[in-house]
Amino acid sequence: RVTSIADRLNVDFALIHKERKKANEVDRMVLVGDVKDRVAILVDDMADTCGTICHAADKLVSAGATKVYAILTHGIFSGPAISRINNACFEAVVVTNTIPQEDKMKHCPKIQV
């Protein structure tokens, strides 16, 4: 899917491959592609506690990305999610309105609907 979208938009892409040994626990992440001196946009279907997406953002910055944005369909944002986003390197975390976000946005200016 990523290749197809990138081809239609005429842009380069990278991806993060994550491996799990147990449910809801990422064992390791591997960045495939070059993000040095690029703006990176993480695209995901949902984020709950935001551990995975924050770890992915850190990996992108470590690999040389200049800015990191996240685009999510469902922003669940439970438990430590808001604190993690506030402390992460995101420029913005953009979500759809499938879940009301007004309260979360009061505590996290990076969240946008």
- Cα–Cα distances (Å) from 5 to 35, 68, 88, in that order, read 17, 19, 27
Q: Are 61 and 35 in contact (CB under 8 A)?
A: no
Query: In this predicted structure, what is the pLDDT of residue 23?
Result: 67
- 90 vs 93: CA distance, rounded Å: 7
- 31 vs 82: CA distance, rounded Å: 25
Strand partners, 95: 72
Query: In this predicted structure, what is the pLDDT of residue 24?
Result: 64
Per-residue pLDDT of the chain (113 residues), as tens digits, is 888 988 999 988 999 988 877 766 677 899 999 999 999 999 999 999 999 999 999 999 999 999 999 999 999 999 999 999 999 999 999 999 999 999 999 999 999 99
- Say which CATH class 1-20+27-107 falls into: alpha beta
Q: Which spans in 1-113 are helix H?
A: 2-9, 51-62, 81-87, 102-107
Query: In this predicted structure, what is the pLDDT of residue 1?
Result: 81
Q: Where are the domains of the chain?
A: 1-20+27-107
DSSP class of 64: T
Q: Which residue has the tokens 């879940």?
A: 99
The reported pTM is 0.90
Strand partners, 43: 71
